[in-house]
Amino acid sequence: MYFGNYEGGPNPVLWDEVREKIVQRYDKDGITRSDADIDEICQTVSLLDPEAEEWDAYTKRLFDSLQAIVDDAEKNGHKDVYIVSHGLSIRVILHVLKYESGYLKIENTSISELIYKAGAFSAFGSVNNTDLLVVEEEIITE
């Protein structure tokens, strides 16, 4: 996602301003909500900075890119495709495709599987799997 004038700046500045804007909108109704859905969080960035990418443009670009990768893989006879991406993009894909496990913090180097069948992204395999990160410690005794 293109963050406009926030690009390259410190993350806490962006996310603190997003959180404040979301809370302000809900406080008008007497409700404080700081755990907004990912679509609302991303759209808030474009409300704060009109140069930032809007939610609809971002999700279209993201899914157009996924489709282009799948089309290229099919054209070249590949059955499995591995894509490396940022956690935000993974969370957006899960949200748009209605993954029903609530908020997810995507762990660095975790693996999430998206299954493509019959011309559509249809299901999930493992999501946010960090099993490969487990390193067994060897205890040495003298």
Residues 88, 93: Cα–Cα separation, whole Å: 9
Please spell the DSSP secondary structure of 38-60, one letter per residue. Answer: HHHHHHHHHHH-TTSPPHHHHHH
Residues 4 and 45 sit within 8 Å (Cβ to Cβ): yes
Examine the pLDDT at 74 and tell me if it is beyond 90. yes
Residue 29 corresponds to which amino acid?
A: D
Q: What pLDDT, in 10s, does the model give residues 33-50?
A: 556 788 988 999 999 999
Please state the rounded mean pLDDT for residues 105-110: 88
pLDDT of residue 105: 82
Examine the pLDDT at 139 and tell me if it is beyond 70. no
Question: What pTM was estimated for this model as a whole?
Answer: 0.80
Domain coordinates of the chain in residue numbers? 1-53, 64-142
Positive or negative CA dihedral for 50, 19, 87, 113? negative
Examine the pLDDT at 30 and tell me if it is beyond 60. no
Above pLDDT 90, what percent of the chain?
Answer: 52
Examine the pLDDT at 98 and tell me if it is beyond 60. yes
